[in-house]
């Protein structure tokens, strides 16, 4: 990572620490997905993971302003992590570790998708409290 990029990440973390869940999800997600891009993980996989991160931001944001701030934070962390100086000798996240963490995120997404399908059952959505039962 270039000195400028490293300084930028440090400045982002110090100047605007995560104060809520949406901001933490955004920072972590942007860092992971940016590094996944840098490490050459397929774009379609990154897009799917990005959709999961977006859903997590929406679910954890208290309101629209918090969601917008978290989305901007995600973008900043993604850009700083994805585009580093390849010739630099500065520390960068290890691609094998990034790949492993990325696969863990994808497995979480698969489990969530499977849980949603399983909850619908073979005959369609289940009715719940307040659904006229």
pLDDT at position 128 is: 40
93 secondary structure, DSSP code: -
* pTM confidence score: 0.70
Per-block mean pLDDT, blocks of 10 residues, the chain (133 long): 52 63 94 95 96 95 95 93 74 89 84 48 42 42
pLDDT at position 92 is: 81
pLDDT at position 63 is: 95
Nearest to 77 by CA among 1, 131, 133, 130: 1
CB of 23 within 8 A of CB of 62?
no
Domain boundaries, the chain: 3-115
């Amino acid at each position: 990572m270039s000195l400028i990029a490293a300084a930028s990440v440090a400045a982002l973390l110090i100047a605007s620490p995560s104060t809520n869940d949406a901001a933490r999800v955004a920072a972590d997600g942007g860092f992971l997905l940016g590094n996944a891009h840098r490490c050459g993980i397929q774009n379609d996989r990154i897009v799917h993971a990005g959709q999961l991160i977006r859903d997590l931001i929406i679910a954890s944001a208290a309101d629209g302003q918090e969601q917008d701030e978290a989305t901007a934070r995600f973008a900043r962390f993604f850009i700083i992590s994805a585009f580093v100086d390849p010739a630099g000798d500065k520390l960068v996240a290890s691609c094998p570790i990034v790949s492993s963490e990325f696969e863990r995120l994808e497995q979480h997404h698969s489990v969530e998708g499977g849980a949603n399908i399983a909850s619908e059952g073979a005959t369609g959505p289940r009715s719940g409290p307040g659904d006229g039962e």
